[in-house]
Structures are given as C-alpha cells and as structure tokens.
Amino acid sequence: MLTSQAMKPEPSIFDETDTEADARRHAEALADIKAGRLISNDEVCAWLESWGAPDEKPAPAKWLK
C-alpha cells in the first residue's frame, strides 16, 4: 500500500564538502601547472583511443610520477 509520505533519500557522500582538501588539491594543481607538469589533450586522447584494441597501451610511465 502506498502512503502519502515520500521516502527521504539517504545523504550522499558527495553532499559533503571538504573545503580544506579542495583548497589543498587546487594549490597542488596550480603548482603542477606552474612547474609544467602537464599532459596534452592529444596525448591523452591517443592513449584512450587504444583502449579495447588488440594493441591497447598502458598509461605512459611519465604520467605516473
């Protein structure tokens, strides 16, 4: 039997904001940009296009440093 009360959804882990962690990650990202630690869109796209292919490529080691 249906009731007139709607079910209250459980809170999501994404509803909480950790402003200190967000600020820290933002600062780290800006430092990476300033230091030139970037990966071009073309490089990422070429790697992603290999996914599922017989010659699928692993992520380049330089990306994991």
Rounded Cα–Cα distance for residues 62 and 65 (Å): 6
Q: What is the pLDDT of residue 4?
A: 59
Query: Which one, of 22, 62, 65, lies nearest residue 43 by Cα?
Result: 62
pLDDT in tens, 28-65: 999 999 999 899 999 999 999 999 999 999 999 988 87
Ranking 1-10, 16-25, 26-35, 51-60 by mean pLDDT, the lowest is 1-10
What pTM did the predictor assign?
0.53
Q: What is the pLDDT of residue 3?
A: 57
The domain segmentation of the chain, as residue ranges, is 39-65
pLDDT band at residue 14 using 50, 70 and 90 as cut-offs: confident
